[in-house]
Amino acid sequence: MTIDISTCMQDFVAKRRLFQSEAQFQFELAWHIQEMYPNYKVYLEVLTATRKDIAVKNNTADSKKRAYTDIIVFDSDGNYIAIELKYKTALGNYENDSINLLHHGATDFGRFDFLYDIWRIEQLKQNNIQQYNFKFDSTKFAGGYAIFLTNEKKYWEDSKEEKKECLYRDFCISEKDCIEEGIPLKWNKKPKKPKCCVNGTFRDTELKFNQKYDFKWEPYYNDGVNPEFRYLIEEIKIK
């Protein structure tokens, strides 16, 4: 089972397709995959795992015990491909003001969340995290993709070396960076600053990966006026 996710994204590039929100990006990508692969079944927001180690506290986002995957593609034998998306924007008014984008900011969290998506897809194959109950047979995992679409240049420009004193140092995803297999990533908490914005949240964790990831940002959209868009695709392979 395979899908050509690069062609899907290049089709959007050719159409100069922009999105008002991540939800719209998610829906249109799923629709396009279904058009390209009519014999597959494509689902959105699929419950793939439940967390057992996080207590419910006031129904906040950090306390959710259910883990959903943005897009799951199934073949007729039940094999599946998992896809996670991130769509982070800076201010911009595109296509004659028909697309008005907000400034999301928090690029430290954005970096972590993208890598966390990759980590969660890896776990669909490994099923070796005791804190999770997985909903699908790991032997049916056929691969995965994490896609990041953004017009915030900090994501592709700021490198680990340039930000070595920053809290998010380990989570940089510029083309100068890479993620090594088996080496844990963690927040750069300094002893003199015991309080940290990630303390007590789901982000307060180390991430360790089962393969190496390099980051190749591709051009997506540039009107010469607003911040340009680029995108990143990371493939999670079967081992």
pLDDT digits over 74-121, tens only? Answer: 999 999 999 999 999 999 999 888 999 999 989 999 999 999 999 999
Helices (H) and strands (E) in the chain, counts: 4, 11
Q: Which of the pair, 121 or 195, is modelled with greater confidence?
A: 121
Smallest CA-to-CA distance from 61 within 51, 71, 76 is with 51
Task: Give the pLDDT score at 58.
Answer: 40
Tokens of residue 192, six digits? 């003199």
Task: Give the pLDDT score at 191.
Answer: 55
Task: Give the pLDDT score at 61.
Answer: 39
Tokens of residue 216, six digits? 């190749």
Q: Kindly indicate the confidence band of residue 57, based on its pLDDT and cuts at 50, 70 and 90.
A: very low
Question: Which of 48-57, 89-98, 138-147 is the least confident region?
Answer: 48-57
Cα–Cα distance between 30 and 36 in angstroms, integer?
10
Cα–Cα distance between 148 and 160 in angstroms, integer?
18
Residue with tokens 């194959």: 125
Task: Give the pLDDT score at 62.
Answer: 41
pLDDT at 21 exceeding the cut of 70:
yes
pLDDT at 203 exceeding the cut of 90:
no
pLDDT at 159 exceeding the cut of 80:
yes
Determine phi and psi for 33, rounding to 5 degrees: -60, -40
pTM above 0.85, yes or no: yes
Smallest CA-to-CA distance from 3 within 31, 40, 28, 44 is with 40
On the 0-12 / 13-18 / 19+ scale of CB atoms within 10 A, 2 is exposed
Q: What is the mean pLDDT of residues 17-43?
A: 97
Tokens of residue 30, six digits? 């799923």
Q: Kindly indicate the confidence band of residue 127, based on its pLDDT and cuts at 50, 70 and 90.
A: low
Q: What is the mean pLDDT of residues 173-186?
A: 95
pLDDT at 22 exceeding the cut of 50:
yes
pLDDT at 139 exceeding the cut of 80:
yes
Task: Give the pLDDT score at 45.
Answer: 92
SS3 14: helix
Q: Kindly indicate the confidence band of residue 233, based on its pLDDT and cuts at 50, 70 and 90.
A: very high
Indicate the average pLDDT of the chain.
88
